[in-house]
Amino acid sequence: MSQYYLSSVNDLQSMEAISRLMQEGIWSLSNMCTSLFNAHVDPVTDMCSNFQQIRGHIEHADRCLKESERILKGKLTCLDECMVRLTKEQQHVQQEKQEKNLTIETLHRRKKSAEESLNASNAAVKQAERNQEAAEYELEKMEEMKTSGKLVVIAGAVITAVPVVGWFAGPPILFDGIETIVKAEAAIVNAKNEVKECMSQMWKHTINIEDYRSRISKTQNEIKRTNQTLNNVQSNIEWLQQRLVAIAQIQHNFKAAVYHMNVLSGRVNVLEIHTGGCIYWEPVIKIIQDVGNAVITIAHNQLLNGQNVPALINTLSENIRVISQQVCQ
């Protein structure tokens, strides 16, 4: 169980305290029955003696039952508070889980977008490389033409064929060849820059994808831990609900026993006033049976059924049976 909300040690200690009080109460009731059985009964007035001894057993049993009920009431209050805290924790953890699920959905979308951008950048790199190859090929052709003199020959041919005009036409033709080379070189530079830029974008998208993968994995692990926490909280709530029902039933039984003890004490007080310290036998037997049955019902509960309880129950049951038979005789 969660140490913050539920302490199995404290729970066990409180139930052991109640069990001890209950056993003391059973013992006192058994002793009361024995005292009644051994008391002198006046055959004329049907009154019994040793009032103080009997009354002492009744008062002690009454104190034990009432103290047990008080402890149970406090325990129920504590368990109710634990239930409130557990419910709040459950809501908090559920909210965390929802937020993490939204986070992981967002990360998946961003990862997918980065993968699409990576594919686009990859295609752009290939296109830039083709552009670079084309520009290098064009420059290579221009360099070959320049090396072979084809550009000059063309210009010279014009000059030879038309000497006067050639002086005017030759330089523009030569200039066009040089300009073509310059443009090819510039195209290569641009293509290389484009390749670098696209490669940079590819690297950027690759890093982003790896980052998203890492964050997704981390968030998935967090969700697993959150689910485990949620399962633990749910288990605690279910355990606590069962405990509340069980403790409430025990408290109900103790209330019944305390009620019968109050009735018994009331009858004894009334009889004491009217008999000068003696108790009529028959009027108290029925209520003793009610008290005994209520206490025995409590004692059969597994949460309170200690090592000595079965023997105490048997003794109390036998004593009640004996004095009941005595009344019937």
Could you give the CA distance from residue 16 to residue 11 in angstroms, rounded to a whole number? 9
Q: What residues contact residue 177 under an 8 Å CB cut-off, 6+ apart?
A: 142, 145, 146, 151, 154, 155
**How many CB atoms lie under 10 A from the CB of residue 34?**
17
- Quick one: 181 exposed, middle or buried, by C-beta within 10 A (0-12, 13-18, 19+)? middle
220 part of a folded domain = yes
Q: What percent of the chain has pLDDT over 90?
A: 26
55 part of a folded domain = yes
pLDDT at residue 4, as a whole number: 44
- Quick one: 23 exposed, middle or buried, by C-beta within 10 A (0-12, 13-18, 19+)? buried
286 part of a folded domain = yes
- pLDDT tens digits for range 74-84: 888 888 988 99
Mean pLDDT of 38-65: 77
Two tokens, residue 166: 């050639």
3 part of a folded domain = no
pLDDT at residue 117, as a whole number: 93
- Quick one: 288 exposed, middle or buried, by C-beta within 10 A (0-12, 13-18, 19+)? buried
What is the residue-averaged pLDDT of the chain?
80
Could you give the CA distance from residue 294 to residue 255 in angstroms, rounded to a whole number? 9
77 part of a folded domain = yes
Could you tell me the pTM of the whole model? 0.67
Q: Which domain holds residue 268?
A: 8-328
2 part of a folded domain = no
Two tokens, residue 280: 């009529």
Count of domains in the chain?
1
1 part of a folded domain = no
Answer yes or no: is pLDDT of 158 > 50.
no
Mean pLDDT of 131-152: 75
